[in-house]
Structure 1
Amino acid sequence: MYQILLVDDEKLELDMLTNYVPWHEMGVEVVATAKNGKEALQKLEQYKPDIILTDVRMPILNGLEFAYRARQYNKSIKIVFLSGHDEYEYIKSAFSVDASGYLLKPIDLTELRFLIERIKTKCEEERLIHHSSYLLMEKYLKELMEESDETRRVELVHLLTLLPASLPATGQFYLAYVTIDHLDLPSNDNSLDTTLEKKLKKYKEEQDACSDVYWIPCGNYTFAVLHYVKPHLFEQNEQLFWKELQLTAEDTYALSLTVGLSQAENQLKSIHHLLIEAKEANAYKFYAGKGSLIHFPELNTINRINLDMDSLLLSLFRSISQMKTIETVMELRKFFQSLKTDHIHRDLIIAGVIHLIKSLGQQFMVQSDDINPDLLFSKQLSRLQESETIDKIEADLLQICETIIAELARKDQDPKARIVQKISHYIDQSLHKVLTVEEISKEVFLSPNYMRIIFKERTGETVLEYITKRRINLAIELLKDRSLKINEISVKVGYDSVSYFCSIFQKINGTTPMEYRKLILKD
């Protein structure tokens, strides 16, 4: 259905046009009316119609002046003039603004139908041309981004400037390399690609009419987005635009976008350099985390220095041997935070962690015949090589350490230690539920009072203190995930009341969950 804006200063004429012309039979919808050119300009911007039917003689701003301004706003809009004057000068003036037709009052419906059909045909032809042009532009831009030969790049730029929706050879360009995180969709599902592309274009149109955006698929849920933008708008507008789009993706689709931004470039033929920069910036999420906005000039130098794993090994041997999970977590957290701060190269980190895992396995296989090295190594090591962030490597290593501790605890001959291990395990697996001492005691076949005594004796803390500590520790980890809202985290760690969760969190950490998230994401 095409949309039309009707403009006439005579109320009776405007009512007749609106209510008595069978627009729907012609495949046209009246989206707005206006009584003069000035009002029509406002309606044009608000409703963005395909067709304008306007009187020529009107007060304030006549039809010809309005048409001239409307054409500046939208070159493809179709304009039909309506007049009671069959005069050569009016017709000449009408076609000087590329009018699609000129009708005399009173309107002949047969003539109007014929004209509307002709306009619709013209619109369809232009849309097909625009679609073909866009596909060609996408093809040329993709090739240009990946082309290293200077001569071929010059040819591609020339081809791009010849297209109807052409790009200039010079100007202000920058490129974003976007990856979509936290997805549970099949690899051949391109519905999200299309939805996000439309959202991007619509959002960009609303935010900034002085910038053109070209969305180029580069693989499953990975895109290069070229911006042609005025130089003075880059710093103040473009990074803000991407931050807003990240928030939209998080709120609307419950996913995060990692965005790597290149520097600005003034030659279209040089955008292959921008793609390299944008990819490097995106890859820096290894340190910054998924869902980050990373600008290439702000990247820190990646260091290739040998890692001292011996100190960490000794600490882990001690905490794991004593089956102290919390100490193990703290040792790993401190170590990986230093890796982030020093920006150690990804390959060196992975090599060091592989060595660490193998050393742990060899050490603790002596203590427990049930620890299978294949179980420890095969799955985790294969996942380790594919890790996109340092946080993921830390989480996988912690899982291995916890597996070893669990196996050692199971082999512990002290019946009280096994009971405490069973209590801790049940609590850790049930943090999302309402937990009571009575319920937990049933799991270990003890009275509530005796269970309290054993747990306090072995751990130095009460059952309720341990539950609270584990819930808050889990909440701290979940706060790193931008896709989770505070109320969702509250439920996941067993608090139905968000306000009570926030008060407990603040009591332990000295800050609210929202403030804590801002601090860790900022760092």
Structure 2
Amino acid sequence: MSGHADYQLLLVDDEANVVDGLADTLPWHELGIAKVFKAYSGVEALEILKTNPVDILISDIRMPGMTGLELLARVRRSWKKIKCILLSGHAEFAYAQQAIAHETYDYLLKPVGDEEIMAKVGGAIKALSEERDETRFRQRMARAFQESLPKLRGELLNELLQGLKYAPDRLTDKLESLKLNIAHDESFALMLVRLEGHLPKLDFYSLSLMEYAVANMAEELFKDSFRLWNCKSVHGYLVFVVTVPEEKRETFGSPEHFARTAEGELQQKAAQLQLSVSHYLKGSASVLMNKWGAFPHDVKRLYEDVLMALRRQVGNESELFVEVSGNPAQPPVRSLQRLHEPPMLVHLLESGNFDLAREKLTAVWEELNQNWANSPEHVLEVFFSVYASFSSFAHKNGRELADVIGSALADVSGLMPGRSASSLYGWMFEALQLLRQSMENETRNDRDITVNQIKQFVQKHLVDDVSLQAIADDLYMHPVHVSRVFKLETGENLSDYVLRLKMELAASMLADPSLKSYEIALKLGYQNPNYFNKVFKKYYSLTPQEYRQKQGNGGEA
């Protein structure tokens, strides 16, 4: 059940029969060992190490000339990643333990059996594989993270603009990981830039370049006095969070002086940005500046204020510069916050997170019931939004909503669920539970199908290549997923299932007295008959010959 054979092993012992026996009789390829080197002294082992990329070294401790511990010390200085396994007898075991604890992957106590050696080497290969995967993963992730840093920063700001709530500690961690220097309760201003004229009509690539240019111009203009953090909002506008560095804040003096001086300088920089768009990009832009707020509590509020000012004071006009009032008049009717803030209900459903979907619906209903229970429009707003999310989720899974939650709950002709907050509550959670049950049933059915496909492949290729990788390749799945699904559904490891089938087939073949045990071993894919005999005995507690005799089919084994 190993992966591709690409590891190399070095065996070191002054007893040639020990080295040759281990190298030539054990099925190393089954562990992923591509090549086995043999050395009969420590000096010969060092020569091999200088010219070959060895991954695992097995050495006896007691050797003439250079001992195994001396060899180990040399290896540790020059080849730190090699996994070293020491062979020690009872006499030198206590002496070897101290070195083993600090420098050796593992040890084997003589006399040692083949299965024990295979198990130790298998463990070393697993450790090497994990180290390789972890190193490669970290390198890839570090590069990808640096390349994605602007995008990740923009995504976080967009989440805050839409009202996503973060626990303080978690938000601090995210800000630090994204290298954003802004603290809780720090003062900030919000600036919105709407590109106008020919700019919004550009193709996606050209528009992205223009937006990138605007952000760079802003950084250049503001850098002496302010820090900027920007994104393209879900409404298609460039939004900047503007803060003042600590060293610059001191030059603005008292809070009252800061408000006047910082705001004046900020407005001047924003006006310069507007002129730069016109001069360098040959386009136009409207710029809206908001008053100072506290981060992150006021991010969503200030963004909503600036959007309202854009609708009311700018509209379809262009090249306007608007300073948004710090206390805009609150409209008599307000929208539902929890319904439209991220994470959206449809996204929670699509990700299969039904627990969070239920929490989302609970929060929506609590806001509705507390503030707008007697507003038919708000009740219907929630109903239609939730109904659309449920329908979209059902359709993306290839089903009609009525097939999932039943025709009665899916029927909107009478709009009964949308007539009151209480009836809406019962409808939402009953429909959600039915959606969840439907998806869990489909998941179980899909797993059953996958397990049956695995079993069919194993049975068909039992005497050929039945490795985990071969099964995964045939099913177009990841090997880890194949293994976990099989274990989850059957309660049996896939490797144990393959072994069981092989041993049952071997037992049935032993009923034919004309077949010798080595012929059976070869038919089952075991190139080493001795190894087959050991596996068979471990499974049945009898050798093949003993099993045959017990079954009354005596013959030459």
Same-fold call, TM cutoff 0.5: no
TM-score, L = length of structure 1: 0.30
Structure with bigger RCO (C-alpha 8 Å, 6+ apart): 2
